[in-house]
Structure 1
């Protein structure tokens, strides 16, 4: 079992075709045995469901026998605004999971459009948590606004001053040097008019 503070994502589903799928994104605080996060229920068949709630709760470890691995008993409640709001709870879950938080069973209910929906004996499985893709770095001209303003106004002297200032401050960067060359070409084109 993990200790400390960790994130887990769980899918809670039944084998029924078109049944709702519950996704729990949970932050588990093992020292305090508390859990918080979000619950999303999605169902694409008629009537479609797109339910969201902030959730909170507790868990305890259950060892039926010292030689057995044990289980986690998870209890969650939720609503759209969190535990300190005065909004009535719209979500409840009771589940039993393995100590690895990767599998188990749960029953839950949620209130969607004024009606409570019950899902009994659903299977819990751990969902993969995608790592964010690295954002490619693209050089951004630092003087773009000044250049655009000078171009729009047709003030050639102002455009030259902006390009000269950019050259002085950023002459060491190859990518920016290329951008400055393009701006110089634009100045030459404007002068030719």
Structure 2
């Protein structure tokens, strides 16, 4: 992976809320799975706004990320580029969503430019603030169920929230139907990618053994 030697390894979820958070403002809820072996992302996007008629655009998204490394004392960034439609990359549905999201190397905060198809017209939103959110409040402690969390190596990164057992339980407890649907879809994507994750894990173990023999 370019740009750094200390990166989370495997498969982990990120949930962003993109927008100003002002009353009545447009909001993009972006829920993605990051797959580090091939630097790809998959997930869902939901754009909502309390207008008349209300804005409600949903997409299944896929894309990739790359590290934007600059010379010291500059600050490195991560660029996430994605697009979306109804059904994902394997469907014949037309693209109705495009995204460029730049975040810090801790994945926490950033700025997004995105566009969406609202009927027959593309609408562009630029320089929207993006914030990483937690699916489970920090004071709530729930036991992990399968599939369990992917544990990153020791690094400067904050803990990435565990995958989907605890967040799904929290969404069920709150009665948040939209969140339950999003998490269920992402959890299924994680389960579908378990063979790839297992292969990546075995490769990592072989590399560890090779490095230790030096």
Quote the residue 1:14 is aligned against. 20
Q: Report the Cα distance in structure 2 between the residues aligned to 1:17 and 1:88, rounded to whole angstroms.
A: 31
Q: Report the Cα distance in structure 1 between the residues aligned to 2:99 and 2:171, rounded to whole angstroms.
A: 35
Whether 1:38 and 2:44 are equivalent positions in the alignment is: yes
Please identify which structure carries the higher strand content.
1
Aligned length: 136
Q: What is the root-mean-square deviation of aligned Cα atoms in Å?
A: 2.2
Whether 1:116 and 2:122 are equivalent positions in the alignment is: yes
| TM-score normalised to structure 1 length | 0.64
Higher RCO, 1 vs 2 (CA within 8 Å, ≥6 residues apart): 2
Q: Report the Cα distance in structure 2 between the residues aligned to 1:41 and 1:32, rounded to whole angstroms.
A: 27
Task: Report 1:43-62 matches (<5 A).
Answer: 43-62=49-68
- Cα 1:91–1:134, aligned 2, differ >3 Å: closer, same or farther? closer
Whether 1:29 and 2:35 are equivalent positions in the alignment is: yes
Task: Report 1:34-183 matches (<5 A).
Answer: 34-66=40-72, 68-130=74-136, 131=167, 132-133=169-170
Q: Which has the larger radius of gyration?
A: 1
Q: Report the Cα distance in structure 2 between the residues aligned to 1:135 and 1:118, rounded to whole angstroms.
A: 34
The Cα shift of 1:57 comes to 0.2
Q: Is the 8 A contact 1:25 1:39 kept in 2?
A: yes
Long gaps (5+) in structure 1: 137-193
Q: Is the 8 A contact 2:15 2:133 kept in 1?
A: yes
Q: Report the Cα distance in structure 1 between the residues aligned to 2:78 and 2:35, rounded to whole angstroms.
A: 13
- Cα 1:68–1:2, aligned 2, differ >3 Å: closer, same or farther? farther
> What secondary structure is seen at the aligned counterpart in 2 of 1:129?
coil
Q: Report the Cα distance in structure 2 between the residues aligned to 1:11 and 1:134, rounded to whole angstroms.
A: 16
| TM-score normalised to structure 2 length | 0.58
- Cα 1:117–1:19, aligned 2, differ >3 Å: closer, same or farther? farther
Long gaps (5+) in structure 2: 1-6, 137-166, 174-214
